[in-house]
Structure 1
Amino acid sequence: MSTEGPIWALGCMSGTSLDGVDAAMLQTDGNRILAFGETGFRPYSETERDVLRGALGHTSGREVEAAAEVVEIAHAELLSEFPEAELIGFHGQTTLHQPDNGVTCQIGNGRILAEALDRPVVWDFRTADMQLGGQGAPLAPFYHFALARMLEMSEPVAFLNIGGVANLTWLDPGKARPETPGACLAFDTGPGNALIDDLCKARTNRKMDVDGALTRAGAVHEDVLTGLLSGSHFFSKIPPKSLDRNDFADWSHAVGHLSTADAVATLAAASAGAIALGLDHCPMPPERILVTGGGRLNPGLMELIAGLSDCPVEPVESAGLDGDMLEAQAFAYLAVRVLRGMPTSGPGTTGVAAPVGGGQVSRPSGTGGHLAG
């Protein structure tokens, strides 16, 4: 593999929504985005999803071992469909993230995947950042910065990712590099889809609020909403800051007495309200908010966010990007940066003491390998 010039890297992401594995090819030299390539998706079965749920909140034990096997097999199955990839960026599956306690766990072993796929794998992206006092998340902001530069944006813009947890990247594309002071500010804003998905699963046996139907049909209970947004010090905490998927589990109990539609609508309004509170932390209002992740597919949630914002709120597709694959692309981009010794996070994105390149590189032994399914 060339030590200079562009690389076709394959990034993958298995998010806190537990829907499956995204994979996306990206050609990059670690600075510029030169081309987008093929993409793929491997859904988790209901049985696999139950195994993954059983590992949430844990860092070891039989539940985690079983979940890690699910993650490794699913990734190997999907990533083997991209033989042209020169390098793989593997995030793994987060089961616990408590940065204030110095704890984070992403299951899935990159060494196993390197052997199974006979390609170098970059993984364990968060540890180095946390060892230097960072939150270890979010990790996509440097990629967001590269996208803004590729799109020749000149004014401050925000990328809003609504997965299980919602996170915001505010950036100034006029700065020289993503680690330049003032170039990027990034942080988790609060719950995204996770609580809505969990409630839908429990009450309707559907894994999400399909097309935002419940969000739009329900009535927001303002008294409950006020209690949710005023009940946590997290929203006033100065960023960078990050969350675990289950940090706001008490919100589910707070809407437990409401009808299904009203509960979903109130949780969606709380997610939107948390995003609005997050925007108050930005150095200046963004010119536009580009939304990625599954939340952009909920029209009711998008309307709630737009109603609380002073600028256009649009899915990233409005800028010609793929909102389903943007996070997977980010780990392809970060993998190349790790390989070349470039920083992947900085003080403005994770609160780390200085710009740092996270991740370790596992190379195959040369004999290839496989995972038993």
Structure 2
Amino acid sequence: MSPTNYTMIGLMSGTSGDGLDIAYCSYELQDQWSYEILDAITIPFPIDLGSKLMNCHKLSAMDLALLDVSFGKWMGEKVKEYCTEKQIKPLAICSHGHTVFHQPAKGLSLQIGNGWALHHASGQRVINDFRMKDIQLGGQGAPLVPIGDRLLFPNIDFCINLGGIANISMESAGKRIAFDTCPFNLLMNAQANELGAEYDKDGDWAKEGMLNEKLFNALNALTYYSRNNAKSLGREDLEDDFIPLLSESGLSEKDLLATLVEHYAFQIAKVIKRHQPTAQPSVLITGGGAYNSYFIERLDSQLNNSWFHTEATPELIEFKEALVFGFLGVLRLRKENNCLASVTGADLDSSGGVIYG
């Protein structure tokens, strides 16, 4: 008989490249799954490593292979230090890795952070490479979090994560569906960087800017938004489709931020209105963008104030993805599906992840 209580560490290195999230979590199965984030920290990347990770898609094959191993080793060392300090022994370390390429149409999604290096440096069992099995089954390999949304947050109508890219997850006609709704911090942080900050705190600069209707309409007209099947956005899509529109607009950084916020609020509200099961659906918002109070204000306006903003603790806002990757590892150890075909467009549900040790 399978155990019903698991303690795991989830590791998340997001596309925005700020650091490594480490979440030590427990998961328990009774009538339904419950969870607790026992402890969680973010370890900033050393400047050299952070720079390499942000530019890893431009590296030579040899340099990328070396970074794969050195990044895995670095994560393992950090996890070992963390476990020693906290005097904990999780069942496994569940690592998302750092995405270099995401091109599911070509059968490819590459996350670096070598599993053997991570296993050896941490001294712990490791589970990683959660995406590739689904991609070989014809899926997008993303998003992976929706199975966690379904089983850990069963009473929430819409789970939204606002990271480098925004995604949404919901039940529709008895199936879980989810997809990337639009870019998010990857584009906004670039404008904030031009203004001398890492991000637009509370959306204050966006609030000072002016909405540009021409750019707003051009963004909404991108073909990505007319696709209704399983879909996901990668850095390549931003570079090919979104960034040229921003560059050619000639707008100031603040006007770009204001227009991006309105674009994001419009696209996310459109999805909620299309799928809402009640007149006032419950919405859980996590990821760094959850702190952008101006975006929340504009989303509220686009939804005509008809929604319930589910309260989330700062820990859940910042570490939900790491929490869910720990849970994907639990399902993998139980040999249960942790990737939903209804979400990714694969031929069938699957249990993905490679186990080391």
* Equivalence for 2:138: 133
Check 1:288–1:142 CA distance in 2 against 1; reply closer, same or farther (3 A cut): same
Q: 1:338 Cα shift?
A: 0.6
Q: Is 1:245 aligned to 2:235, yes or no?
A: yes
Identity %: 28
Matches within 5 A, 1:211-290: 211-230=202-221, 232-249=222-239, 250-256=241-247, 257-279=250-272, 282=275, 284=277, 287-290=281-284
Q: Is 1:307 aligned to 2:301, yes or no?
A: yes
Matches within 5 A, 1:1-373: 3-29=2-28, 32-56=33-57, 61-65=61-65, 67-69=67-69, 71-80=71-80, 81-82=82-83, 83-149=88-154, 153=155, 157-171=157-171, 182-201=174-193, 203-230=194-221, 232-249=222-239, 250-256=241-247, 257-279=250-272, 282=275, 284=277, 287-309=281-303, 311-312=306-307, 314=309, 316-317=311-312, 322-363=316-357
Question: Given residue 248 of structure 1, which amino acid in structure 2 is its aligned partner?
Answer: L
Indicate if the aligned counterparts of 1:225 and 1:270 stay in contact, CA closer than 8 A: yes
After TM superposition, the structure 1 stretch with the greater mean CA deviation from structure 2, 246-255 or 186-195, is 246-255
Check 1:301–1:74 CA distance in 2 against 1; reply closer, same or farther (3 A cut): farther
Q: 1:57 Cα shift?
A: 6.2
After TM superposition, the structure 1 stretch with the greater mean CA deviation from structure 2, 272-281 or 346-355, is 272-281
Indicate if the aligned counterparts of 1:190 and 1:274 stay in contact, CA closer than 8 A: yes
Q: 1:48 Cα shift?
A: 2.6
Indicate if the aligned counterparts of 2:205 and 2:257 stay in contact, CA closer than 8 A: yes
Number of aligned residue pairs: give it. 345
Partners of 1:55 and 1:254 in 2: CA distance? 24
Check 1:73–1:190 CA distance in 2 against 1; reply closer, same or farther (3 A cut): same
Partners of 2:263 and 2:7 in 1: CA distance? 40
SS at match of 2:238: coil
SS at match of 2:220: helix
Partners of 2:186 and 2:275 in 1: CA distance? 24
Check 1:70–1:192 CA distance in 2 against 1; reply closer, same or farther (3 A cut): farther
TM-score (norm 2): 0.89
Question: Given residue 44 of structure 1, which amino acid in structure 2 is its aligned partner?
Answer: F
C-alpha RMSD over aligned residues: 2.3
Check 1:102–1:313 CA distance in 2 against 1; reply closer, same or farther (3 A cut): farther
Q: 1:321 Cα shift?
A: 6.4
Superposed CA deviations along residues 29-65 of structure 1, whole A, max 9, x for unmatched, are: 576124331111101244332211211367x624423
Partners of 2:272 and 2:287 in 1: CA distance? 18
Q: 1:95 Cα shift?
A: 1.2
Check 1:46–1:312 CA distance in 2 against 1; reply closer, same or farther (3 A cut): farther
Check 1:17–1:38 CA distance in 2 against 1; reply closer, same or farther (3 A cut): same
Partners of 2:58 and 2:277 in 1: CA distance? 36
Partners of 2:166 and 2:70 in 1: CA distance? 25
Superposed CA deviations along residues 286-308 of structure 1, whole A, max 9, x for unmatched, are: 71211110111111112222222
Q: 1:78 Cα shift?
A: 3.1
* Equivalence for 1:370: none
Q: 1:3 Cα shift?
A: 4.5
Q: 1:280 Cα shift?
A: 5.2
Give the number of the structure with larger relative contact order, counting CA–CA contacts within 8 Å between residues 6 or more apart: 1
Superposed CA deviations along residues 306-354 of structure 1, whole A, max 9, x for unmatched, are: 2222542636517x96110100000110001111110011222211211
Check 1:302–1:7 CA distance in 2 against 1; reply closer, same or farther (3 A cut): same
After TM superposition, the structure 1 stretch with the greater mean CA deviation from structure 2, 327-336 or 233-242, is 233-242
Check 1:313–1:225 CA distance in 2 against 1; reply closer, same or farther (3 A cut): farther
Check 1:74–1:314 CA distance in 2 against 1; reply closer, same or farther (3 A cut): farther
Superposed CA deviations along residues 94-153 of structure 1, whole A, max 9, x for unmatched, are: 11111122211101111211111111111100011111111100001111112223xxx2
Q: Mark the runs of 5 or more structure 2 residues left unpaired by the alignment.
A: none
Q: Mark the runs of 5 or more structure 1 residues left unpaired by the alignment.
A: 173-180, 364-373
Indicate if the aligned counterparts of 2:159 and 2:170 stay in contact, CA closer than 8 A: yes
